[in-house]
A and B are shown apart, each in its own frame.
Chain A
Amino acid sequence: TQLLEQSPQFLSIQEGENLTVYCNSSSVFSSLQWYRQEPGEGPVLLVTVVTGGEVKKLKRLTFQFGDARKDSSLHITAAQPGDTGLYLCAGFGHSGQAGTALIFGKGTTLSVSS
């Protein structure tokens, strides 16, 4: 069974601080997605990483995919209150099948106060 271990589970920081969320597995993933979700809303896709060692930047957010495609990280620089939300990493298994569902990490609840 493929699992994604996401940490930390909760993070409460001040505006302007930096933070990193980790997503780790003992299994290889063909790709990993990062989502952000606000209360009562559906998850919004932030990025997909596919290639081992890949780094993607989305404004103040930096996403990395490990060389072995077993782990990923999300780094936020100078966090703002608008970054508050639930961050989810998710991935499809390496083999892939028609209709294979996403495997989710447990999520990181981020609270940024001003």
Chain B
Amino acid sequence: DTEVTQTPKHLVMGMTNKKSLKCEQHMGHRAMYWYKQKAKKPPELMFVYSYEKLSINESVPSRFSPECPNSSLLNLHLHALQPEDSALYLCASEPTPGSRGDEQFFGPGTRLTVL
């Protein structure tokens, strides 16, 4: 298995809903990332998990809550989101955090719309 998968592909939610995004990889990668991306802009880093520990939180509002249950799974729990949170949410993984020449591989993303 050489890919990062994300579910769901699309998600529409109201501002009072609670939902979760899921990311999975079975490549043995030890770093996993959440990014937020607006149209025609580069991805913006949200969270980094390195060896299943949260290592970077880019001052993301608490209405976004990440979770890394094990080395293959990464979740992003959503609660009380705002319409401006509508975006493409990307998950990525990396084999060996901090290794020169390392590469990040992205999932297909979840298109989130907040009404």
Residues of A within 8 A of B (CB): 30-31, 33, 35, 39-45, 48, 50, 86, 88, 90, 92, 96-102, 104-107, 109
Which applies to chain A's interface (DSSP): helix, strand, loop or mixed?
loop
27 contacts across the A-B interface (CB closer than 8 A): A31-B100, A35-B106, A40-B88, A40-B111, A42-B4, A42-B106, A42-B108, A44-B106, A45-B103, A45-B104, A45-B105, A45-B106, A48-B101, A88-B43, A96-B99, A96-B100, A97-B98, A98-B31, A98-B51, A98-B98, A99-B49, A99-B97, A99-B98, A102-B45, A105-B42, A106-B41, A107-B41
Q: How far is the CB of A95 from chain B (nearest CB, A)?
A: 9
Mask, B70-100, CB within 8 Å of A = 1, is 0000000000000000001010100001111
